[in-house]
Amino acid sequence: MDFLADVVDWLSDNWSGSGGILDRSREHLWISFVSVVVALLIALPPAVLLGHLRRGGVAAVNVANIGRALPSFAILVLAFQATGRLGAVPTVIALVALAVPPIFTNTYVGLREVDGEVREAAAGMGMSGGQVLRRVELPLAVPLIMAGVRTSAVQVVATATLATLIGWGGLGFYIVVGLRVDDDVQVFGGALAVVVLALLVDGVLAIAQRLLTPRAAPAAGARPFEIEALTAGDPHPVPGAV
């Protein structure tokens, strides 16, 4: 109980101010956000294309999963050696390598698993390949894509604590400094702050996933004759839609 009381006191004393928990949390969120956005830009286009074409998926997923086999700390060190820089750049490289596999895999699988009869029905209505992708496949794949984004984001937030080792801030600062000075209260408090931040990020993305899913969910079990519902309310006729 005394230890927990000390942790509560430490959190209260370091909550605000320069270098406080709020300040470190902003640093932590910024580096995590940038890393996830870069991972999305790298992973989504090829995953969407391969999932739509249903080609090359096995090889592509295996290549993407190399990022899971490499320890994040090892990637961080390699990125530092390659760039010769401290701070954000090597940190983002390491976190992007961690974030790409779940996003790529979930996006590819989500598009590949769209019912073939649904695709054929959409094509039979006069939709082009691009229209089928935008108006049928992507809406149906949204829940799985968002699940991949959530997984990546939580992993990135949890792993961003390593950034302190190469000169970046974030909540990992408390853990690293606490270990150096043998301060268990600071180590526990820093780790607790990281856990809470990761849970908050996951919660926000879960809400986003739920808001995006209803549009796709009704069509998830749709049969070919129900595809027309996907284009309901479109002011353009399907064959000539842009």
Determine the pLDDT at residue 216: 41
> Does 242 score more than 80 pLDDT?
no
**229 pLDDT tier (thresholds 50, 70, 90):** very low
Contact in structure between 174 and 165 (CB atoms under 8 Å): no
Least confident piece of the model among 38-42, 118-122, 173-177: 118-122
Q: What is the pLDDT of residues 201-213, one digit of tens each?
A: 999 999 988 888 7
Please report where in the chains the tokens 């808001």 appear, as a residue.
Answer: 211
Q: Which domains does the chain have, with CATH numbers?
A: 19-228 (1.10.3720.10)
Instruction: Give the whole-angstrom CA distance, residue 21 versus residue 11.
Output: 8
DSSP 21-33: HHHHHHHHHHHHH
Q: What is the pLDDT of residues 128-140, one digit of tens each?
A: 767 778 778 888 8
Determine the pLDDT at residue 4: 85
Determine the pLDDT at residue 67: 65
Mean pLDDT of 70-84: 80
Mean pLDDT of 189-211: 92
The overall average pLDDT reported for the chain is 80
Higher pLDDT among residues 149 and 80, named by residue = 149
Determine the pLDDT at residue 31: 92
Instruction: Give the whole-angstrom CA distance, residue 42 versus residue 40.
Output: 5
- Classified as helix, coil or strand, 225 is helix
